[in-house]
Amino acid sequence: MANLHLWMAIGKQQVKLPDAATTLVGIYTKNPINVKHDPSTAGLTATYFARWVTKRGLMGPWSLPVHMMIAFGGSAQDDAAATDSGAKGSQSMKLAA
């Protein structure tokens, strides 16, 4: 079974290619993928790249970049749900591979 390696760069502008500012978010075998962001990154752009890696370590090509603005806000109900789940102070986003 292959694994999906998900990488992310956060900044004021979109990133076109993976570089030194791109960090590994995680290694996944199932989707959707839940990515959490800190409130301090609100208004910045998250750029995601992914690649498949086999059990033997053979890496596939990089995906095209996916760009999303990190937004925060919501209702008191959202805040209560975050507190109940222990995720206070973060916002999550689901990605499907």
Domain borders along the chain are 3-95
Consecutive 10-residue averages of pLDDT for the chain (97 residues)? 93 92 93 88 94 95 94 54 45 57
pLDDT for 15 equals 92
pLDDT for 93 equals 58
pLDDT for 63 equals 95
Q: What are the E-state strand segments in the chain?
A: 3-11, 23-28, 33-37, 45-53, 66-69, 91-95
**pTM for the whole structure:** 0.74
pLDDT for 92 equals 58
